[in-house]
Amino acid sequence: MDAKHPIPLPLGYVTNTPDLYPNLASLVIEKSITTIVVGYPERNKALTVSIDKFITNLGYSIDPRIQIVRIDEHFSSVQASELTHITS
């Protein structure tokens, strides 16, 4: 979300390179982002450890006033699976 768009909008993706965090920090500034939404598979503890580390490192790279929100993505995966079965 940013000041012009109160609804979360995807900005694409970034690759996991050594410049990941500086690139994300630049994007946050460039787009005036106020909130970052991170998919968080609460039922997959092994993956949540990696995501928590990512969120911590991201927090060190951006303005501390930027909110980072975890959203349980289990439901989106379930809905996508159901939709795939309906359209198949």
Q: Within a domain: residue 79?
A: yes
CB 1 within 8 A of CB 33: yes
Number of domains, the chain: 1
Phi, psi of 22 (to 5 degrees): -60, -35
Q: Within a domain: residue 7?
A: no
Q: Within a domain: residue 6?
A: no
Determine the structural domain holding residue 79 and report its residue range: 20-87
CA distance 32 to 40: 23
Q: How many CB atoms lie within 10 A of CB 52?
A: 13
Q: Within a domain: residue 13?
A: no
Confidence tier at 16 by pLDDT (50, 70, 90): confident
Measuring CA to CA, how many Å separate 7 from each of 10, 39, 44, 70, 87? 10, 16, 27, 16, 28
Q: Within a domain: residue 9?
A: no
> Most distant CA pair in the chain: distance in Å?
45
Q: Average pLDDT for residues 36-57, to the nearest whole number? A: 91
Q: Within a domain: residue 70?
A: yes
Q: Within a domain: residue 4?
A: no
Mean model confidence pLDDT for the chain: 82
State the pLDDT at residue 76.
62
Q: Within a domain: residue 45?
A: yes
